[in-house]
Amino acid sequence: MTEIGSDVQRAARILKSGGIVAVPTETVYGLAANAFDEKAVTKIFKAKNRPAFDPLIVHVADDASLASVAAEIPEAAHKLRRHFGPGPLTLVLPKTAQVPDLVTSGLPHVAVRTPNHPAAAELLGMLTFPLAAPSANPFGYVSPVTAAHVAAQLGGSIDYILDGGRCTVGIESTIVAFTDRPKILRLGGLSQEAIEAVIGPVEVAAESSANPAAPGMLTAHYATKKPLVIGHIPTLLKAHNERSPAVLGFTSNYGTAGEILSKSGDPDEAARNLFAAMRRLDESNAGIILAEFLPESGLGRAVNDRLRRAGADRKL
């Protein structure tokens, strides 16, 4: 079984010798390898069973390291980094030749961010290379927000799990592409409103896209093993009464077995609780998960996106 610990030096040694390590960030746990080492990066794809057409996010310590992977940084991208970096903001920028095609799935652009987590920052500071790191879960499943979540699914197939506690944002980063006009490819831990307050109106990519060049955008993703349906919960409870339903509610569990994402109706808190709640329901003896959307603003939009994808292909 893979060891879980808080030894940052050990994580650094493993990464320097071409191994793969689960690393805590403020968004979700990542599965990291030296982004400049193709052999090491291949191990990530293998451990996650991730298709080669799904590119990885590269994590950099600072602007100097950013310059080693991004060939060009438009002013609006700089502006966003100044406001929100380090943080749950990933920028898609033209890549340098040093970034292997494997990392970007052959795209001429690289997705890059600086995480805002003390252990991740310390680790990146010890290394002379950036870290390629997608979420540390089997491809398509719910992302991990604790070291135990990583161990439950990838324990045994990775070299070390660096424990940095529970992720404080709890959903993946927001990805903004600068391949043309700025465009949000994936809603995440930084709200559209916050981004627009800095660089003005930004288009959001069509969310039903199954375009593999676009991040976490495969229609069925973040999915539980159990079927998950979304709608008006009292109605769904009646309809699925026979199937031992469990509720994934925003501010209430409707008096049944289930999870409440935020009693006070705070979408940030709901985002933080979402994946752990989904995992608990998936492990419970419920036959079906009944979920409801949050109001479409702030991180509510990103939570709804995850729910929609978790429910995709399961219109029951």
Quick one: which H or E segment has residue 240?
none
Question: Binding segment for ligand AMP among 48-56, 193-201, 273-281, 303-311 (CB under 6 A)?
Answer: 48-56
- Residue 246 tokens, joined: 């469990």
We find the least distance from the C-beta atom of residue 152 to ligand AMP, in angstroms, to be 17
Residue closest to ligand AMP, measured at CB: 215
Token look-up 């539980």 returns 224
Q: Residues 271, 191: contact at Cβ < 8 Å? A: no
Q: How far is the CB of 270 from ligand AMP (least distance, A)?
A: 19
Instruction: Give the nearer residue to ligand AMP in terms of CB position, either 114 or 135.
Output: 135
Our CB check for ligand AMP shows the closer of 212 and 265 to be 212
Task: Give phi and psi for 59, each to the nearest 5.
Answer: -105, 125
52, two tokens: 């080669």
Least CB distance to ligand AMP at residue 127 (A): 19
Stretch that binds ligand AMP, among 12-20, 209-217, 246-254, 256-264 (CB under 6 A): 209-217
Torsion of CA 17, 37, 5, 164, to 10 degrees: 150
In the list Mg ion, ligand AMP, none, the entry touching 304 (Cβ below 5 to 8 angstroms by class) is none
CB of 101 to ligand AMP, least distance (A): 11
Q: Which of 86, 144, 182, 215 binds ligand AMP (CB under 6 A)?
A: 215
The CB density around residue 256, as the number of other CB atoms within 10 Å, is 14
Q: How far apart are CA 172 and CA 74, in angstroms?
A: 23
Contact status, residue 236 vs residue 224, Cβ threshold 8 Å: no
**Residues in contact with Mg ion by the rule CB under 5 A:** 135
Question: 3-state class of 42 per DSSP?
Answer: helix
Which one of 34, 37, 55, 298 is in contact with ligand AMP (CB under 6 A)? Answer: 55
Q: Which stretch binds ligand AMP (CB under 6 A): 9-17, 108-116, 148-156, 306-314?
A: 108-116
Distance CA 3, CA 151 (A): 9
Q: Cis omega (within 30 of 0) on the bond before 86? A: yes
Regarding 150 and contact with ligand AMP (CB under 6 A), the answer is: no
Residues within the interface to ligand AMP (CB under 6 A): 54-57, 92, 104, 107, 109-111, 134-135, 172, 175, 185, 213-216
